Amino acid sequence: MINFEQLKEIILKNNSFLLTTHVNPDPDAIGSEIGLYFILKKLGKQVYIINYSETPYNLTFLDSDKVIQKFDEQLHKKLFDEADVLVALDFNRPDRIIKMQPFFEQSKKYKICIDHHLEPGNFVDALFAGDEYAATGHILFKFIETTNIVQLDHNIAVPLYAAIMADTGSFKYDRTTPDVHLIAAKLLEQGVRPNDIANKLFDESKFSKIKLLGKTLSTVSLYGKDEKIAYMVITQEILTETGALENDTDGFVNMCMSIENVVIGILFLELSDGFKASFRSKGVVDINKLAAEFGGGGHRNASGLRLKDKKMTDFIPLILKSAEKYL
């Protein structure tokens, strides 16, 4: 059980906060940052949001105050030693913030993590986490509800709704409990329009993304015993050809899971300095373990890894072979 009263105390007794989230942020990452930003602003706090990655274009609507800054070492490294509290949102291992990691780790300021991934690392002073929560935005909602630290309003409700909607796969994954629906109802009572949010998150893709999806789908292959593994491969060449960005690949791996009999889906994505793999699984297949074997992590049915300076083509056969163990 998360100690929400402790979190409330930390917030009330400090003045400035630096919020950050993981590389290639998703709606839960940005949504929980903006949700917490509005909570803190309501309390008169000073808030900075510094992210390693630029905010994806389909999520900029959440940052209505345009407060999120992309990390620039010269501009921002001092902030890690100036803000009273550093807040890690929606990630639980320091390597998830890439070049910001040393500044976060070396800072002597108080550090907290609010997150819902499995197996948190030991990198903060206080951890407010639980993998039973559907989203980091879900934790923030419970925080407000439990402590009444501020009154819920439209500004806070919009990002939290986006966070929960995305991390539950639009209210269809296992952690879509009755409580999650009750929370959604309370957010709608604040004037959130679900159709508007869904449109922004899922239905305003750039043409380059759709071209990339087409090319990616043509790489789908089946693998393993009874062909229960489906995988797709995106090379740097395909990315350049279509003009799409890493973040445009979000959700692509789910296409693997829509193939009958497939229980493991993998997307391999070549980066300019290594590669990343996204894993999805169905039911009891624990794909977090596969990611962990190669230094990644995540959740039981959705995990990932990112290997710097490694060749994707060397790892594809190794990862596929390992994946068979989890069938």
Partner from ligand 5GP, Mn ion, none binding residue 299, C-beta < 5-8 Å depending on class = ligand 5GP
**With CB under 6 A as the contact rule, which of the stretches 48-56, 174-182, 199-207, 294-302 interacts with ligand 5GP?**
294-302
Cβ closest to ligand 5GP, residue 209 vs residue 306 = 306
175 near ligand 5GP, rule: CB under 6 A? no
Q: What are phi and psi of 20, to 5 degrees?
A: -150, 165
Residue 309 CB coordination number (10 Å): 8
* Min separation Cβ 95 and ligand 5GP, Å: 7
178, HSE (Cβ side, Cα atoms, 13 Å): 0
Q: Which of residues 61-90 bind Mn ion (CB under 5 A)?
A: 90
Is the CB of 190 or the CB of 254 nearer to ligand 5GP? 254
**Nearer to Mn ion by C-beta: 92 or 216?**
92
HSE-up of residue 318 (Cα within 13 Å, Cβ side)? 10
Asked whether position 115 contacts Mn ion by CB under 5 A, the answer is no
Cβ atoms of 65 and 36 closer than 8 Å: no
Give the number of other CB atoms < 10 A from CB of residue 116: 24
| Residue 56 near ligand 5GP by CB under 6 A | no
Contact status: 159 vs ligand 5GP (CB under 6 A):
no
Task: Tell me the H-state helices in the chain.
Answer: 4-13, 27-42, 73-76, 79-82, 101-106, 136-147, 154-167, 178-188, 194-202, 207-217, 236-242, 254-257, 287-293, 312-324
Selection from Mn ion, ligand 5GP, none that 167 binds (CB < 5 to 8 A by kind) is Mn ion
Shortest Å, Cβ 96 to ligand 5GP: 6
